[in-house]
Structure 1
């Protein structure tokens, strides 16, 4: 792959825009007062994005993956992250071995 000047400048500009956006958010939040409702809404964004990424894969694949995602979600309600993920992995392995 060759890297010409225009491509390099585009990559650097996108990197600068990303860094500027993240750093400015850290500095600007000091001067804003965020209500409890807004904070709760902002706290809900990461799990919503995660579900938006996971759901199509979970529902567009086979039964083993879909059932393993359900088992993982149920386990995650009661257990820490690592055991919940382990349960999901074990579930998909067992279901695939069973032929699902």
Structure 2
């Protein structure tokens, strides 16, 4: 296997950009005061990302996955991200066992 220099440079540049944004976020957040509205907006990001990831699954798969997506969405409104995902996994497993899909 050979590594093209342009590919290697692209990988290094992407890694550097990723690390720079992470470190910059840690440094910048020290100088920013987060109010209640900003805190609520930041807390809404994980469920929104979760829905963006699983919504296409609900539209192109079977009824068990659609039911699990709805259950996960409802759980994500009230629970932290990990329990919401666990509920979705449980619902899809039970629905597949019952429906046979």
The 10-residue stretch of structure 1 (83-92 or 47-56) with the greater mean CA deviation from structure 2: 83-92
Larger Rg: 1
* 1:4/1:60 CA distance change after superposition, 3 Å: same
What residue ranges of structure 1 are gaps of 5+ in the alignment? none
Matched, 1:58 2:62: no
What residue ranges of structure 2 are gaps of 5+ in the alignment? none
**2:64–2:92 CA contact under 8 A, matched in 1:** no
1:31 counterpart SS class: coil
Residue 83 of structure 1: CA displacement? 5.5
In 2, Cα distance between the equivalents of 1:59 and 1:88?
15
**2:58–2:69 CA contact under 8 A, matched in 1:** yes
In 1, Cα distance between the equivalents of 2:62 and 2:24?
43
In 2, Cα distance between the equivalents of 1:23 and 1:71?
36
In 2, Cα distance between the equivalents of 1:83 and 1:11?
34
TM-score (norm 2): 0.77
Residue 21 of structure 1: CA displacement? 0.1
TM-score (norm 1): 0.78
* 1:74/1:31 CA distance change after superposition, 3 Å: closer
| Residue of structure 2 aligned with 1:93, choices 86, 91, 97 | 97
Residue 60 of structure 1: CA displacement? 1.8
The aligned length equals 96
